[in-house]
Structure 1
Amino acid sequence: MGLRNLLGVALAFALVASGPTPAQASAPVTPPGTPQVAGTQFLSAATVDLAWMPAATGTNPIAAYEVYARRPGWNYPDQLLTTTTSAWVFVPIGGLRPATTYQLYVRARDTSGLPGPASAPVTIATLPSDIVPGPPVATDATATTATVSWRPPAVAIERIAGYDLIVPPATPTQPIQIRTSTGPSTTSAQLTGLRPGTTYTFIVVARYTDGTPRSAPSARGTVTTAPSVPPSPPSDLTVTTLTPTSATLSWTASAPGDFPISRYYTYVNGGALGVPNPGPDVRTVTFAVSPGSTYEVYVRAVDQAGIYSAPSETFTFTAPGQ
């Protein structure tokens, strides 16, 4: 082979050897894991509360959980009932038909839109609408009280043993709280001890004398109390007595808002002072200090409805040395 041919072969080999490297195969994308249904509560004519364990995260973060329903024996697509970011809390599921059997399941979907496997289905049978009371409705609400009423179920009154007004638990580990109970002919309740400017969620459960079914819960209802004027901030904060090891703090009383002052809370360097909180007629506290240390203190008032004032102005002082 001549020199010219040898140079041509070498050049061709060099071009092949220096060509682009084949692309590496991308890593497979893992979808979210399978949620596990943790339980149901308060099955009604058209609603049920459903809770599930969080799914394991795949390649991408979980964006949402989707709750689906299928009706056994029906050749229709499964129905998407709700989409939520919640997990391990009871999620109210609506859009169901009375006296109907459903299989509910949950699947996670990640931020790329990739769905994970469906959970094992849970079977429910909604109640007939005639045995379910109406949701509680606020007929009168103040800052700390509210009257709620509900529509009785369309059954003979002799079948009703009474009603329970219930605060639904948020998670499967929380207990059910019965706020009040009434007799069979009472379909309203007066609530006291509420916090101003707060929304409460309730359901009504009808208790039946025949026990079949044992009870029938209403859909959820909410009650929002009226806002309240808070106390004014304490004023004229000062240290009246100061030694290397103790300081006595005093202030001028707050002006009450809508409710009388209950007590004062004192704070030092951003945390609680660590002394008993004085009542409304005591406006001084004594607490331990360290020689040469600097302290920032302030005070807040709280009224009998549990509403706090804004903080007083911060007072700064340094304990004298020994």
Structure 2
Amino acid sequence: MKAVGDRRRGFIVRDRRSRAIRSKAAPLAAYALAVTLVAAGATPAYAGADTERPTAPGPITVVAIDTTSVELTWAASTDNVGVVRYPVGAQFEDSGAQYSTDTNSIRITNLRPSRTYTFSVWALDAAGNSSVSNPTLRLTMPPGDDQPPSAPGQPVAYDVAATVVGLRWAHSVENVALDRYEVFRVDVGGTLTRVREVYQYPPVNSAQISGLAPNTTYTFVVRARDEVGHLSPLSAPVTVTTLPPPPSCAVRSVVRQWPDGFVAHLVVENTGSTTIDGWTMTWRFWASQQVQGIWGAKVVDRLNNSYLRVSNTGRNAVVPPGGTVSLGLVATGTQLPEEITLNGGLCTVADE
């Protein structure tokens, strides 16, 4: 019995069945190797060599929709090797999210009622080629909100300055999603002038109102608006008077310094034409520095760990035009009093 072939006239003659088996075995082995590579996370040679893009998916259509979710479908893309997934984008104004599916449909949840989204879809193949000229769908979700927000709490003024006022208030209660707060100035005759909009991404219940006139009385109210456009009642009003313009001032300083500390004596002069009745002063002071002694003033706090803020004592609150107030400081560190302000006004400094 001949296992492979026989010798005839000095030649080896191969069995045709054996040759046929071997000719089929080579592609099967190559296929098995490719399957093994894919299973191990490698990219087959044919995928790496694929540079042909999939065709664009067909138009996006809505299968089902409610107030917070939508099911979308589209005609499948074609590709010379095969589409592996469809990324799907959902864009609302300047924010968005991306999803993925390996079929030609998807259900997207956690959307917001009455919002208008732009959905997009594109195809990717195993080599990472992406389709072009992809479809989009602009879709407004059904309304799910038929209640207006409650009125915001009465604003409270803080950090009042000559031209800026801070306002904060208690949040409105909203059954779905709050879109923004609107801050209004109440003018003569009750006319409302909107001065700020505070969008709720993330939620914020405060605002700074700038561009005000010094030493002027203002009244403000706040109103809430939800994403559907429902308006709350107006809040109770708050009335606040801005501070006078910052005083002009000059500071003379006498400093004695050692390697890790100093003593400074400051004489502050009111160079303006208005009497100062109550004052705060700030100057540069590093977080690592410590106050070891102070006179003529009392420490209030540190601002952003970069400035020391002090205020008047009970005996030197009033500084008439041309008048002066004296204070002193013993502290650690090497940062001397610089960038000195008096009631928000930057003082000129002259060393002695």
TM-score, normalised via structure 2 length? 0.35
Give the structure-1-normalised TM-score. Answer: 0.37
Task: Find the structure with the greater CA-based Rg.
Answer: 2
